[in-house]
Homo-oligomer: A and B are copies of this chain.
């Protein structure tokens, strides 16, 4: 029962079903649609996606391979619980890789791109002032990845994306905390931009590293992790 969802000529989604499944699952993971610890069975996901089990199976395997999902020895795959240790591990790796990306980008970025990034920072500040946390986080991501893309290092970019994916659900839950947090916990991208304009890549990298470590310390104190929650809520959301 294959149902074409849109006119084949117009649609941009002529991608393989497996790719669509992968992206939708990935998006759902970032958005925190699934509860940590929830089992994702191939057939259930396939049904939710309206496809045969095959694309779902491949997509789930891909996500498990990049550790965005955990795999049981039986083969069953489930949404990982981000423990405190895992959060700190992800943060420690970020604190090494993202400054490296900044250093690489520093010698390649042009002033036009820096202007565009400055605009993103301004939009982020506006979003924060307007009390729109999800837009604020989106702009934050836009700024950083816009910069990382300039590094011209595709593998590094992929690894950083995987880290963000892993951290995704937790960070999404934490957005309200971030909004109501004291000023010292807010991202400060201005100094990074300033350093880059001066061509001081090393300094920009140090700024970012400090920012990540500051944010990690704050969240580490503000968040309650999966391994510290006595009872698991176990939400039953089958949508994908």
Q: How far is the CA of A92 from the CA of B155 in the complex (A)?
A: 11
Question: Can you name the residue of chain B whose Cβ is closest to the Cβ of A104?
Answer: B92
Q: In this assembly, does A67 line the interface, its C-beta being within 8 Å of a C-beta of chain B?
A: yes
Q: How far is the CA of A58 from the CA of B60 in the complex (A)?
A: 11
Interface residues in A78-92 by Cβ distance below 8 A to B read 85-86, 89-90, 92
Q: In this assembly, does A222 line the interface, its C-beta being within 8 Å of a C-beta of chain B?
A: no
Interface residues in A118-165 by Cβ distance below 8 A to B read 152-156, 158-159
Query: Which of A67, A89, A97 is most buried by chain B, counting CB atoms within 10 A of its CB?
Result: A89
Q: In this assembly, does A62 line the interface, its C-beta being within 8 Å of a C-beta of chain B?
A: yes
A1-43: CB near B (< 8 Å → 1, else 0) gives 0000000000000001000000000000000000000000000
Q: Which of chain B's residues have a CB closer than 8 A to the CB of A92?
A: 100, 104, 153, 156
Report A202 CB to chain B, min CB distance, Å.
Answer: 14
Q: Looking at the complex, which one of B75, B153, B154, B159 makes contact with A159 (CB distance below 8 Å)?
A: B159
* Cβ–Cβ contact B89 & A93, under 8 A: no
* Cβ–Cβ contact A89 & B153, under 8 A: yes
Q: Which of chain B's residues have a CB closer than 8 A to the CB of A62?
A: 61-62, 65
* Cβ–Cβ contact B86 & A93, under 8 A: no
Report A55 CB to chain B, min CB distance, Å.
Answer: 12
- A-side binding surface: helix, strand, loop or mixed? helix
Q: Which of chain B's residues have a CB closer than 8 A to the CB of A158?
A: 67
Question: Can you name the residue of chain B whose Cβ is closest to the Cβ of A158?
Answer: B67
Q: In this assembly, does A115 line the interface, its C-beta being within 8 Å of a C-beta of chain B?
A: no
Q: How far is the CA of A155 from the CA of B86 in the complex (A)?
A: 8
* Cβ–Cβ contact A65 & B67, under 8 A: no
Q: How far is the CA of A90 from the CA of B153 in the complex (A)?
A: 9
Question: Can you name the residue of chain B whose Cβ is closest to the Cβ of A103?
Answer: B92
Q: Looking at the complex, which one of B66, B153, B154 makes contact with A66 (CB distance below 8 Å)?
A: B66
Query: Which of A16, A85, A86, A96 is most buried by chain B, counting CB atoms within 10 A of its CB?
Result: A96
Kindly list 8 other residue pairs between chains A and B, CB separation below 8 angstroms, not including A62-B62, A65-B66, A93-B156: A16-B75, A58-B58, A61-B61, A65-B65, A66-B66, A89-B153, A89-B155, A96-B100
* Chain A residues close to B by CB (< 8 Å): 16, 58, 61-62, 65-67, 75, 85-86, 89-90, 92-93, 96-97, 100, 104, 152-156, 158-159, 166
Can you name 26 A-B residue pairings with CB atoms under 8 Å? A16-B75, A58-B58, A58-B61, A61-B62, A62-B62, A65-B66, A66-B66, A67-B155, A67-B158, A85-B152, A86-B155, A89-B153, A89-B154, A89-B155, A90-B155, A92-B104, A92-B153, A92-B156, A93-B97, A93-B100, A93-B159, A96-B96, A96-B97, A97-B97, A155-B166, A159-B159
